[in-house]
Amino acid sequence: MEKFTKQFLSEVLQLKEDDVKLVMECQRKFPELLVNEGERINSARQLYIELGMDESNWSKWYKKNILNNDFFKENVDWEALVLGTTTEKGGRLAKDFTISLEFAKHLAMMGRTENSHKVRSYFILMEKAVKCMQDHLIIREPEKQGYNEMKQHIMNWCDLNNYDKTLDIFYTREANMLNECLTGKTALELKAHIGFRDRETREHLTIETNKALYELQLLNSSLLIANMSFDARKEIIKTTCKVKYTNLYIKN
């Protein structure tokens, strides 16, 4: 299960504020449910407690929901653990179990506590978030490839015009030209506006913005192939943004 940051959920996936709060709360309260597929959760009892269930009812609960569960099997979905023979007061320690992630999700969502309800809502939101994440990657991966191809066209353009293609200015200028025409801000200004610290500017942009940048990269590459001047290309990109992407321009 992907663990998301608050910033990524709100800025890139654009979840509502209450949904973001729920996701962050569940990720904090139930780290057991964030293990990778195929890994096991070490303590079913700990999960039971974190879900807010009655600790005094643990023995009755695990016999009904784990030992006598017809759908999840011993040594496949769960394994019994013996933590010790006696407590400090001389009583026997309650059993515990390691369980599969799938079984843990089932147990967490079937409860009738407030936390179980949150877990159910969390996994519904996770389906939405993961789908948005997939959409994000569908755009980002070709966008990255498109940027590398545009860099190659910039190199060729520099060669045609007797410019030094080893200078970074030619590449940052193109990227910022696309950023400014589309959003009104350079990469550094976007960083300050959004409030992130790393250098991966486009990882913090919305899917719609990245899709537009990908399309602008393709357009700019074709203009570079045509050996148009920077100013001429900038005017075409700017006009395109005014016609197609006015909603992505940041006014403040």
Q: What is the mean pLDDT of residues 143-165?
A: 96
pLDDT in tens, 8-51: 888 778 888 999 999 898 888 888 777 777 778 899 998 999 89
* 14-23 long-range contacts, CB within 8 A, separation 24+: 14/132, 14/206, 15/125, 15/128, 15/129, 15/132, 19/125, 22/118, 22/121, 22/122, 22/125, 23/122, 23/125, 23/126, 23/129
Which residues lie closer than 8 Å to 32 by C-beta, 6 or more apart? 41, 42, 43, 46, 47, 50, 104
pLDDT of residue 83: 58
Q: Residue 93: what pLDDT?
A: 55
Q: Is the pLDDT of residue 132 over 70?
A: yes
| pLDDT tens per residue across span 176-217 | 999 999 999 999 999 898 888 788 888 889 889 999 999 999
The model scores a pTM over 0.75? no
Task: Give the percent of the chain with pLDDT over 90.
Answer: 50
The 10s digit of each residue's pLDDT in 52-70 is: 999 889 889 999 999 999 9
pLDDT at 98: 93
Look at residue 85 and tell me whether its pLDDT is greater than 80: no
